[in-house]
Amino acid sequence: MSPDGRHRSLRRRRWLERFLDGWAIYRRNPLGWIGLGLLALFALMAAASFVPPLIDPMYHPMAGVDPEITSSMGPSLRHWLGTDFMGRDIFSQLLAGARVAFLVGISAAFMSVAVGTAVGITSGYLGGLADTLLMRLADMVMVMPALLVVLILAALFGQLNIWTVVLIIALFRWPGVARVIRAQTLTLKHRPFIEAVRVAGASHRRILLRHILPNVLPLSFLYMTFRVTSAIMIEAGLAFLGFGDSTTVSWGMMLQWVWKTGHMFKAPYWLLPPGLCISLITLAFYLLGQAMEEVLDPRLRKEEGGVG
Amino acid sequence: MGLWRYAARRLVQIAGLFYVILTVLFIVFRLAPGDPVERMVDPSMDPEDAEVLMAQLGLDRPVGVQYLYYLKNFVSGDMGISFHYGEPVAEIIADRLPNTVLLFTSSTILAAVVGVLLGKRASWSKGRSTDTVLTFSALATHTVFLPWLALLLIWLFAYRLGWFPITGMVSEDVWLDPGATWWTRAVDVAHHMVLPLASLFLIQFGTFLLVMRSSMLETLKEDYILTARAKGLPERVIRNHHAAPNAALPVLTTIGLSLAFSINGGAITETVFTWPGIGRELVLAVSQNDYPLAQASFLLIAAVVLLANLVVDLLYAVLDPRIRY
């Protein structure tokens, strides 16, 4: 094995060890288990969303209409959660909504965390004018209410498709991550091992990518779970207000249909499921994040009780 | 004196930020597809009136001059004429702003006070069932989907139980009755406000509770708490006079940071409850392609967020003697 290859496999083993150590702490947290369990359930729903349209075209979440039903009906054997105002199956819509929620949540979170991490380490490592400018920019973006920004862009550019929404959410949700990563980079920058690498003649690029980035990545990953929550909420809010992508079924849009067609007082079977799903999936990611925070921050682990 | 200089510096910074937002909005309005003129002057307007309005907004001039007009008009409060209402945008905004401020500040203050009190309570009984119940309800209300919560509240308390009005801010019969006193009118508004206030309060208080709880747990590890215990002070005094005031400081920061989130929530709440505020006006303006009104509502909301952040920063500086500027 070449020296470089051995180095790589060592590194891989270290990552695995770190992961297993973390997992040992994570698994002791009951709330973390609830989060994981809920996520597994939603992942199952997302995977199952491909099945109903295969059984019968009327189960297609968007285009499928039950030929015998033209209005909203309560749950039955044929439609487990009933039908919406034009006879579409609510259960298949709910499954499709899980897919959209994951898609939006994870892709927006990934992008915003990638941008936030890049800005954070650059700003923290370079310092000086670049740092000031980037952080001022972060301050500005941070105070902008993302939902309303998307709204005003929807007004100007017309109907936004789901990927545009994802992109905008990502572009407005990075400053929080950038601040945390910058603070972490600042503390890393003056650690002896970084100084040692610098003395050994490593380039800035190498120091950043090989030595600082791996040390801030766990923190970025943690922030991703929190960003998933906010991305799902923003997309759902947008869809609820009637500015979602009209070619996809999301939970927010389902709620908008209940509300706008005036079914909220007479169709609880339609009002309850989508809202419950949005709330639970955000709760799940939140619990996941909290349990991970405990893994990454040893100070949170053995908190002694406040009572003396 | 240091505080005043700090306040002045922050004010200048915020004015700078607002100027950037103002400029970006101007550019975005010109970059968007379609005719920018049609976005500021109602296409269905009488041509002669339209010409007057265009001259007034500087839309017949080159873009650079348009920008100067835009700034000048903004400063003098002239934001064009709403397509939908046919009235000056500034008047509509001035009419809606107090309603938003009323709903929003009362819910934020209420949520902060209740969140701090309950967070203190939770930290004090850490590990016991009170703590678990409080923490879990904070988590649940923090992650609940706001419009859904609002709809459920309407369904239960307004529709099934009939305790509160379903939507709106005032009852017409009370406000059109010339004999009604200001007191009956105030009671009428309060009655309409209960449910929107409850929705906003519920999604906000959890954050405060969680922040207060963990900050309190941190504070209780400090040396001066140990000193207080060693002096033999009662636990109640330690908790309320030594720990809580210091632990409450991060809650202030949270108010500032979660403001953008709450503003989103405010727009949704106003829309669901048809509360006549700025957020609902923005949503309506966007769906009706009423560009001047959408632009002005957005700018106003941005200004409110920036100012609220300033207030939070200053409060922080006043309350925390360790911070010296």
- Record the tokens describing residue A149, joined without a space: 């920004």
**What pLDDT is recorded for position B324?**
56
**What pTM value is reported for the model?**
0.85
Q: Is residue A308 part of a domain?
A: no
Distance from CA of B190 to the nearest CA of A (A): 24
Put simply, the answer to whether B259 touches A143 (Cβ < 8 Å) is yes
Rounded distance between C-alpha atoms, residue B198 and residue B195, angstroms: 5
Report helix, strand and coil shares of chain B as percent, to nearest 5. Answer: 75, 0, 20
- pLDDT tens digits for B267-281? 899 999 888 888 899
Residues spanned by the domain of A35: 6-65+73-300
| Average pLDDT estimate for A247-262 | 87
Minimal Cα distance from B302: which residue of A? A144
Our measurement of the distance from residue A196's CA atom to the centroid of its chain's CA atoms, rounded to an integer in Å, reads 37
- pLDDT tens digits for A146-167? 888 888 888 788 778 889 889 9
B219's CB contacts (< 8 A; 6+ apart) are B225, B243, B246, B247
Is residue B200 within 8 A of residue B153, CB to CB? The reply is no
**What pLDDT is recorded for position A111?**
94
- Record the tokens describing residue A212, joined without a space: 């600082």
- Record the tokens describing residue B176, joined without a space: 């059109």
CATH (domain of A80): 1.10.3720.10
Distance from CA of A201 to the nearest CA of B (A): 40
Give residues 86 to 115 of B whose Cβ lies within 8 Å of A. Answer: none
Contacts of A152 in chain B (CB under 8 A): 25, 28, 282, 286, 294-295, 298
Query: Between B45 and B104, where is the model more confident?
Result: B104
Q: Over the range B140-152, which residues count as b (16 or more CB within 10 Å of their CB) and which as e?
A: ebbbbbbbbbbbb
Q: What percent of chain A has pLDDT over 70?
A: 94
Q: Is residue A102 part of a domain?
A: yes
Hey, where are the domains in chain B?
Answer: 3-75, 93-319
Contacts of B263 in chain A (CB under 8 A): 145, 148
Question: Whole-number mean pLDDT of chain B?
Answer: 83
Contacts of A274 in chain B (CB under 8 A): 148
- pLDDT tens digits for B87-116? 888 888 888 888 888 888 889 889 989 999
How many domains, in total, are found in chain A?
Answer: 1
The CATH class given to the B93-319 domain equals mainly alpha
Q: What percent of chain B has pLDDT over 70?
A: 97
Put simply, the answer to whether A275 touches B147 (Cβ < 8 Å) is yes
Q: Which range in A188-192, A228-232, B60-64, B179-183 is most confidently predicted, on average pLDDT?
A: A228-232
Q: Which of B84, B100, B132, B148 to mutate to test the interface with A (most CBs of A within 10 A)?
A: B148
Distance from CA of B313 to the nearest CA of A (A): 13
Put simply, the answer to whether A229 touches B267 (Cβ < 8 Å) is no
Among A214-223, A232-241, B58-67, B276-285, which stretch is predicted with the lowest mean pLDDT? B58-67
Among A21-30, A93-102, A294-303, which stretch is predicted with the lowest mean pLDDT? A294-303
